[in-house]
Structure 1
């Protein structure tokens, strides 16, 4: 039996959280179609992007950049090490820290990954200016939400 919805109940399609969530899923589907060419999953791709910007980072540095904890990153990094994309080594100054470094194979993927960006832009059917503006708005929104949550 169908129960009529209350007029005070929020409509799903009117919710910002659902628009963000469903758009994120759609974006990941686009990447899921492209990343097998690189042999990467989307989370691995994000780690690689961080390391392509700056190599030789601690697990906690990568986690801070990606908003992930080490318990989430460690198994991911172990798989990437098994794929010979990165190496992990204890820091000499503080053995509690693990330094993640790109291998030559991991560095070589950077040029191939750069070829994905035009395909992703094309999938959005947006201009570079529109994407840049939207990204900037989302970054501001994330900052405001994190500030509100005390993060």
Structure 2
């Protein structure tokens, strides 16, 4: 090979790409039971953590692109999982609030993280924590 730095096996980005695709496939069946896509699931997790937050705060928490978030929130509103309301303090701002159906879904989704974690039997808990720390470094460097 003329340029060994181009060897696919040497690329961190390709490993992240493969891991991302694999995780998306792994989540698919569990999320299909809830009629959610992965980005919708991320939004739900953020709202289960703190309901009634501004769209700006939701964008910051989830790191989802603004135009994508608009479509995600519209579809989730159509599914009656959330409502978008005017902020009582500042009418220019919008707040995202879970509906009763969206709140109930939290219990239905509770076993998903463990179900996904079980897909990594060769990864010890300490290694999983280290992986999170390393990925946080990569994400911070890319930001």
What TM-score do you get using the length of structure 1 for normalisation? 0.87
User: Are 2:98 and 1:98 aligned?
Assistant: no
Aligned length: 142
> Which deviates the most, 43-52 or 65-74?
65-74
- The structure that has the greater radius of gyration is 1
Structure 2, unpaired ranges of 5+ = none
Name the Cα RMSD after superposition: 1.4
Match of 2:119 in 1: 123
Instruction: Identify the structure with bigger relative contact order (alpha carbons < 8 Å, sequence gap 6+).
Output: 2
Match of 2:142 in 1: 145
- Which residue, out of 122, 130, 133, partners 1:133? 130
CA separation in 2, counterparts of 1:127 and 1:85? Answer: 35
User: In the TM superposition, what are the counterparts of 1:30-49 in structure 2 within 5 Å?
Assistant: 30-49=26-45
Structure 1, unpaired ranges of 5+ = 147-151
Shift of 1:8: 4.3
Divergent runs of 4+, >6 A: none
CA separation in 2, counterparts of 1:95 and 1:28? Answer: 37
